[in-house]
Chains A and B, each alone.
Chain A
Amino acid sequence: DTGVSQDPRHKITKRGQNVTFRCDPISEHNRLYWYRQTLGQGPEFLTYFQNEAQLEKSRLLSDRFSAERPKGSFSTLEIQRTEQGDSAMYLCASSPTGQINYGYTFGSGTRLTVV
């Protein structure tokens, strides 16, 4: 297992287009998280899955955002009708249940630029 993988690494899109990002967590991790990081800031929590169940969504996640984890393995994050304010690094992380105390494992992120 090579860790948490995210695809694509970079995405440039025109305002109003839809984009989808993929995250493949560490295979034995049943918790998966999405965070957003804007320039000069720390990551901010977006949403969290335990297996296939989405258990919490931040108020940062507007109606234009949707995340899925259909089989409890990989996850997708879709942004509809992108806006320039959506430009950010989108980070995925995973952890085993009950071991948040040892921290998550983060992927390298997908950098989104909306032009």
Chain B
Amino acid sequence: GEDVEQSLFLSVREGDSSVINCTYTDSSSTYLYWYKQEPGAGLQLLTYIFSNMDMKQDQRLTVLLNKKDKHLSLRIADTQTGDSAIYFCADPNDYKLSFGAGTTVTVRA
């Protein structure tokens, strides 16, 4: 299966942490990805995690992977106004990426 599900909206105060959650069904993926899409723009690869890892930290970003539950999360520390965007998790199946519907993150002052 290639279904990827995400919560649709998240509102966070500037300076707080954001946590975006994702569940996926294809457990054979070697990697899982997070993409960011700003209004009217294409997708930017934000980070990825190997499937044999539980956690990956990259500056303000922390990715957590629970393979047993097929759950992926992205934490953004010290959320800034520039982090307002749509965030997609993506599960590769060979050369194809399956995307969730995206989580719209709104950062309020």
* A48-B43 contact in complex given A41-B101, A42-B88, A102-B48, C-beta closer than 8 Å: no
Contact B92 A101 (CB under 8 A): yes
Q: How large is the interface on B (under 10, 10 to 19, 20 to 34, 35 or more residues)?
A: 20 to 34
Residues of chain A lying within 8 A (CB to CB) of residue B99? 42-44
How would residues 33 to 47 of chain B score, 1 for a CB under 8 Å from any chain A CB and 0 otherwise?
101000011111100
* A31-B100 contact in complex given A43-B43, A102-B48, C-beta closer than 8 Å: no
Assess whether A85 is interfacial by the CB under 8 Å rule: no
Q: How large is the interface on A (under 10, 10 to 19, 20 to 34, 35 or more residues)?
A: 20 to 34
B41: nearest chain-A partner, CB-CB = A108
Contact A106 B43 (CB under 8 A): yes
**C-alpha spacing A99/B96, complex, angstroms:** 12
- A59 CB to closest chain B CB, in angstroms? 13
Contact B31 A101 (CB under 8 A): yes
- A94 CB to closest chain B CB, in angstroms? 11
Assess whether B10 is interfacial by the CB under 8 Å rule: no
- A residues at B contact (CB < 8 Å): 4, 6, 31, 33, 40-45, 48, 56, 91, 93, 95, 100-109, 111
- B residues at A contact (CB < 8 Å): 4, 30-31, 33, 35, 40-45, 48, 88, 90, 92, 94-102
